[in-house]
Amino acid sequence: MKPYTIDFDLLTGICKSGKVQPVQRRVSQMKMQFADPEAAQKAIDSGDPVLYEFSTLLNDEKKGTLAFGSTIIYPGKIGDEYYMTKGHFHTILDSAEVYYCLSGKGFMMMETPEGDVDLQEVHPGEALYVPGRWAHRSINHGTEPFVMLFVYPGDSGHDYGTIETKGYRKLVVERDGKPVMIDNPKW
């Protein structure tokens, strides 16, 4: 592989040259991950909005490489639960990941297979280190797009299945205008 450069907008996280097309995830792709499937169905029926999109500027999945790119989580709620990413463990569970907040603000919800839970709020200019073994989900509780740069080992892989079937132990919902972490009633 040869060295290369690629444009990357520090505010929006978008690759404007169009060399990389973002992957978009809509409510219909995550209906069962929200605590209120009826609210999710309502959102689907009224246009199925994009919850988030991410661009992986490099990922050739080989050992020794670094995958990197950006995630944009849009502001909004499904019922009283904020827009969020699906979340995943890395298939090679020990693989860590670094995030750097470019704009907006939000949370990273993390948990281990053993049941440890950690919620970190990140703002522009802050880096977040997600150690290996911690599943991670980004949540936008703000009013602006929440944009983060990410870097992780290219061979990490993504295990979505565990989260899809069991969900996270905790949820972040809005109560009296403020975000609070509650137990996931489905866990």
Rank residues 54 and 83 by Cβ distance to ligand F6R and give the closer one: 54
Number of residues that bind Zn ion (CB under 5 A): 1
d(CA 57, CA 92): 21
Smallest gap, in angstroms, from Cβ of residue 85 to ligand F6R? 4
**Binding region for ligand F6R (CB under 6 A):** 25, 54, 71, 85-88, 97, 136, 138, 150, 152, 158
Q: In sequence order, what E strands does the chain have? A: 23-26, 50-58, 66-73, 77-78, 81-82, 89-90, 97-103, 106-111, 117-122, 127-130, 135-139, 146-153, 158-159, 170-175, 178-183
Smallest gap, in angstroms, from Cβ of residue 75 to Zn ion? 22
Per-residue binding string, Zn ion, 78-97, x by CB under 5 A, is -------------------x
Decide: helix, strand or coil at residue 79: coil
The C-alpha angle 168, 172, 177, rounded to 5 degrees, equals 170
Per partner kind, with CB cut-offs from 5 to 8 A, the member of Zn ion, ligand F6R, none near residue 34 is none
Rank residues 31 and 86 by Cβ distance to ligand F6R and give the closer one: 86
Site residues (vs Zn ion, CB under 5 A): 97
